[in-house]
Each structure stands twice: as structure tokens, then as C-alpha cells.
Chains A and B, each alone.
Chain A
Amino acid sequence: MARYDRAITVFSPDGHLFQVEYALEAVRKGNAAVGVRGTDTVVLGVEKKSVRKIACLDTHIALACAGLKADARVLINRARVECQSHRLTVEDPVTVEYITRYIAGLQQKYTQSGGVRPFGLSTLIVGFDPYTDKPALYQTDPSGTFSAWKANATGRNSNSMREFLEKNYKETSGKETIKLAIRALLEVVESGGKNIEVAVMTKKDGLRELEEAEIDEYVAEIEAEKAAAEAAKKGAPKDT
């Protein structure tokens, strides 16, 4: 019987796990995804290609990812089963941190097991804590590390999006949170409802995917604000 159990992810002499770093390359080539946390809303936005990228894990948890979509299906399926299994055994819904820890743990396992390669994706996980009602945003990556964020981006051109968010992030709620997420995405994606997918999660209504027309409305608002800001900048020096 051929042996399929030798370790594939092993250390290099200078302490790198190249397979994990190569997996991060796969993420860097994946579609752009952004997540923004507000006071009462969390928003996920992704660059739209053929495949639906925002998945519902439970009534109060959603996930977006960048990287190998086929790997994503496996992780998302395991996470969905874990959400229900948790409800069955302890009669309580998972917290966002719990399911993030679970997914990250799974990603880590595949960097330290025989015969397997790491998952080629980073995830953005959003949801509401069922006990504190606070919104949360977490990110995981192929190495299996995870952390909480106020806003973050992954996938193609994530550096530009992150730069934008670092400059422009402030505590927002409701529509302002949605606008902030879309503005970040528009930095790297061609504008228009048909190029981006946006999902909004609120405590009351759970996850809601925005319609193309709605996204176009937000984009129009954003462009108008940008134009007004430009005009104000040009107008002010002339007055003095």
C-alpha cells in the first residue's frame, strides 16, 4: 500500500513553513473581500465573479473568503455542521469567536498533518454574539491564526483596501457602515452593482444580501459625496 502519510508542510532551515506561505500567495491572488464592523451592523463585501462568495453559517454568523473556492466549500461545510452540532449538544448557538476558533483550528490542523496540504484561503467571519448582542468581525488565514478586527480586507489588492480603511475608518452604524465597506471595495474594483456583492448582518434581521439596484444606489451616493468633496476643495482656495 503506497504511503500517503508523510508530512508535506515542513520547516525550512530559516524557520519558514513554505507551504503555508505559498497558500497565502493563493489568497493574495483571490478575489477581494472586505469586512467592516459597526456599532449595530457588520458588513461583508466581495468582488463578484461567477461563484457566490458570502456563505451563511448559522442564523447569526456569515463568512466571506478569498482564495481557493473549492477549499472554502470544505471549510464552510464543516463549520455549518459544527454550528448545528454545538446547538444540539449544549442547546446554545455558537459565539462568533467559537466558530472562528474552530475554523482556524481546522486550518492549523492541515499544516501539521500527514499527506495533506494547507487550505488555500483566508476567511472573514462576521456575526453577533448571542449573549452580548455585540457585532464581531474576525479573520483567519491558512496558517490557522485568527484575530478580531474593526475592519479588514483580504484577497487581491487587500493592501490598498486596508490602507483606505486605516485612513477612513470611524465608528459607524447602519447605512454608514455599508457605505464604508463599499467605498473600500471601490478602491480596487470597477464601480457598479454588477461587480460587487454586499451582505449586511444586523441583530434583528440576520444576514441580508443587497440587491444590485441597492448597491448601485449606494455607489451613486458615494460618487456624489466624492464629487461634492472635490468641489469643496476646489472652491475653498478661490474664496480666500
Chain B
Amino acid sequence: MECVLGVVGRDFAVVAADTSAVQSILVHKTDEDKVMVLDSHKLMGASGEPGDRVQFTEFIQKNLHLYQFRNTIPLSTAAAANFTRGELATALRKNPYMVNIILGGYDKDVGASLYYIDYIATLHKIDKGAFGYGSYFCLSLMDKLYHPDMTVEEAVDLVDKCIKEIRLRLVVAPQNFVIKIVDKDGAREYARRELVGDNAPVDAAITVAA
């Protein structure tokens, strides 16, 4: 089951997601990037129906770019979150998008912010959040270990603990994850955590078994 999670730290936000693409009993690929860079300072981690996920996130991204070309300034994170929610809400009672989103962004005047947007167009501004079966474990860990104004190292450590728990306790657990960060310098990939696939460390299997 797909997991997306996010955490706000001191002047940055982290959005992480698993990188598995699964269809019934088959794993299509283990390096599917589900955290889209919407623009220079926004990240959108999405999980749900694969077709809807790609279609919807690309649609939001292109509309954000169009806004920027029309108005020379980018949309704020809050405005982007509300725009996203609005699109989900409009489609909801006609042709719903089955996509859950954690949107993280950095604005010069507001700092870092994180938004929880679920597939029926619920919008919450949050400090920490997660989607999927993994959220059952992540949210408890975050409740215990999160505190405001964490450093990047502390936040990534919290995300790593969540990943470890997901790998351990979920019956069909995704093994590989991507961690992206957004701060005043922009949105970018921070790290990958890979146990399987071509880029996994050679002795990864041995470590897990032990």
C-alpha cells in the first residue's frame, strides 16, 4: 500500500513517499517518483489511483506554471493548496480523482508550510501528516517524536524511523522510498532509501534477514 508523509521543520518542509508501483500481485517498478516538484518552492507528494495521480499532479503543475507566466510571480503555497482542493472538489461529484496529497512549500513571508489534502477535497494545514496504511504507524511515531523547529537532520531522522517502521510492520510493505526537501533555496530531492532494485546496496538483503 502506498505511503506519503510529510514534516515541517525550522524553515523547511520534508515530503517523503514510497517508490513502488504495484498492480495486484505484480510490482511494476521500485523507483516510481511520487513526489512531484510543482515549481521552484513546492513539493506535491501524491498517492492513490496511478492514472489519476499522474494526471492530476501534472495538471496542477502546469496550471501553477501558467499562473506564473501570466502574473510574473508564483502562487503562494496556501493559494496552491486551495487551488488544488478546489479542483478536487469540483471533480468530486462528477468524476472524482482518487488521489491523496501532502503538499509542502516555502514562501519568503510565511516560511515553510505543509498541507494535507485528501481525495474528497479535505484541506488541512498541518505540521506533520501521512497517508496510506503506513500512516497508522507514522502518525504515532510523529506524535511521540515530533517537536517544532526541528533541524534537517532531526526531521530526516524522524522520516527514517517512519520508513523503518513501515518496512517492518506492514504486511506488503514498500521497500524503497524517496525523501524530498523544500526550503528557501528551493525544492529538491534530498535522499533515497533503497533496499531492493538496481540501486540498492549489495548487502542490503543480508542486513534485512539478520
- A residues with CB within 8 A of B: 56-58, 77, 80-81, 83-85, 87-88
Residues of B close to A83: CB separation below 8 A:
69
B70 x A84 contact (CB < 8 A): no
Q: How far is the CA of A72 from the CA of B58 in the complex (A)?
A: 28
Q: Does B192 contact A (CB under 8 A)?
A: no
Instruction: Give the Cβ gap from A207 to chain B, nearest Cβ, in Å.
Output: 11
- B residues with CB within 8 A of A: 58-59, 62-63, 65-66, 69-70, 72
Q: How far is the CA of A29 from the CA of B110 in the complex (A)?
A: 47
Residues of A close to B58: CB separation below 8 A:
88
Cross-interface CB contact of A57 among B59, B63, B69, B72, cutoff 8 Å: B69
Instruction: Give the Cβ gap from A55 to chain B, nearest Cβ, in Å.
Output: 8
A77 x B70 contact (CB < 8 A): yes
Interface of chain A: mostly helix, strand, loop or mixed: helix
Q: How far is the CA of A110 from the CA of B63 in the complex (A)?
A: 27
Q: Which of B59, B66, B72 has the most CB of A within 10 A?
A: B66
Q: Which of A58, A80, A84, A87 has the most CB of B within 10 A?
A: A84
Residues of A close to B69: CB separation below 8 A:
56-58, 80, 83-84
A88 x B70 contact (CB < 8 A): no
A85 x B70 contact (CB < 8 A): no
Residues of B close to A80: CB separation below 8 A:
66, 69-70
Kindly report which residue of chain B lies nearest to residue A55, judged by CB atoms: B69
Residues of B close to A87: CB separation below 8 A:
62, 65
Kindly report which residue of chain B lies nearest to residue A57, judged by CB atoms: B69
Residues of B close to A77: CB separation below 8 A:
70
Kindly report which residue of chain A lies nearest to residue B70, judged by CB atoms: A80
Instruction: Give the Cβ gap from B32 to chain A, nearest Cβ, in Å.
Output: 16
